[in-house]
Structure 1
Amino acid sequence: MAQKRADMITETRNKLIKAARDAFAAKGYADSSMDDLTAKAGLTRGALYHHFGDKKGLLQAVIAQIDEEMMARLSVIIAEASTTWDGFIDESIAYIKMSLEPEIQRIVFLDGPSVLGDPSQWPSQNACIRSTQRSIQKLIDEGTIRMVNTEATARLIMGALLGASLWIANAEDPQTASEHVAEGFLALASGLLLENKTAHQ
């Protein structure tokens, strides 16, 4: 009985998140009404309030889901790279390019900050920083980059990537902006390399 109830709760949450994600991506947060969201999910406003508190709480849940998917995609990129350095660079460039994807751009980089505040304070950013910190430590251990404070450097890198992604999402020409950011990031990151190493091409 308890398992059945837990499954029903999960199903209800998933229906609301899917309906909200579709609506936020298509119309934006401001133009998505709670009545439309709940009707599409075949649920009541009461269900939304019960599970997420309000529309803002639903946006947080949608962003958390997208963040998990982004992290999973980035993990695959790291795993498939031939070297730790290539994985570090490929992951960073992929994160930059994700800000061009319509759903991610609108929900995470446009609506998210305007509704939920500074993205650097979101829980997902801590996970990104820890992941980057591990990559930096591995690069130091391998003798690929110079000795640096891993937490400080991870925060610098993630701060730069996040700030650049927000700029790309709001740019008049996001595609060109992303190309400039990728080029600039490669130049900055190469400064970490020891002199006998070559930058990723």
Structure 2
Amino acid sequence: MARRSKADMEQTRQALLSSARKSFTDHGYAATAMDELCTAAGLTRGALYHHFGDKQGLLKAVVAEMDVEMDQRLQQSFATANNTWAGLQQRCQLYLEMAQEAEIKRIILQDARAVLGQRSGTESQQCLTSLQSILQELMQAGTIHHTDSEALALLIHGSLTEASFWIADAQDSQQRLKHAVAAVQLLLNGLLVNA
């Protein structure tokens, strides 16, 4: 039997991730059958086990992929701002707005937390790292008070994450989003040196 190339292996991996994301979004993690997911990707269950170990491993990989994509969107939003402070505010608002998107709501805010646990499914390392960098920049510029940037990033990210769960769980998510944005702005304003 011929060995598969790295490109073929990556193509298989991406096909499984894409199929999983669609199925997890449309049906939820619990209702997603591995045989159907593999069939939709045009692959065998063996390929899924080879790349991800099991269904939970597949969910972890989907969450990791989405984390990178979410952080890229947050960074793009940040980059369009007039200054670092405005960028931080835009970034926080976009993070909350993403809680209304079907894929993020279902996979990140519902299934990942339930299946992977409170921390492992929603602890967004990529987002935390970039947020910490922004906070360090604001501290160095004298815009916000000096403190441990990792601790502050964890607190802000935790607040945003909990608010996102609250938004995603609402019948009227737009109203909750409005309240959450106002509350986060109040919290952020408390960081300013010249508030």
Instruction: Give the TM interval when normalised to the shorter protein.
Output: over 0.9
Does the aligned pair in 1 maintain the 2:68–2:126 contact within 8 Å?
no
Structure-2 residue corresponding to 1:71: 71
Alignment partners' CA distance in 2, 1:4 and 1:33: 26
| Paired-residue identity, % | 43
Q: Equivalent residue for 1:115?
A: 115
Measure, in 1, the Cα distance between the counterparts of 2:73 and 2:3: 31
Q: Which residue of 1 aligns with 2:133?
A: 134
Cα separation, partners in 2 of 1:139 and 1:130, compared to 1, 3 Å: same
CA RMSD after TM alignment = 1.8
Q: Which runs of 5+ in 2 are unaligned?
A: none
Q: 2:190 maps to which residue?
A: 191
**Structure 2 counterpart of 1:29:** 29
Task: Tell me if the contact between 1:29 and 1:111 (Cα under 8 Å) persists in the aligned partners.
Answer: yes
8 Å CA contact 2:28, 2:106 repeated in 1:
yes
Following superposition, the deviation at residue 81 of structure 1 comes to: 0.8
* CA offset digits 1:34-80 (Å, max 9, x no partner): 11101111111111111111111111111111111111111111111
Matches within 5 A, 1:29-178: 29-118=29-118, 120-122=119-121, 125-178=124-177
Counterpart residue type for residue 83 of structure 1: N
Deviation at 1:179, TM superposition (A): 1.2
Whole-angstrom CA distance in 1 between matches of 2:145 and 2:63: 35
CA deviation profile, 1:105-141 (whole Å, cap 9, x unmatched)? 11110111011111x3458523322222211111111
- 1:173 shift after superposition: 2.1
CA distance in 1, matches of 2:158, 2:188: 13
Q: CA deviation at 1:149?
A: 2.2
- Inter-CA distance 85–121: structure 2 relative to 1 (3 Å threshold): same
Q: How many residues align?
A: 194
Q: What is the CA–CA distance in structure 1 between the aligned matches of 2:85 and 2:71, rounded to whole Å?
A: 18
With normalisation by structure 1, the TM-score equals: 0.90
Is the CA contact 2:99–2:105 (under 8 Å) kept in the aligned structure 1? yes
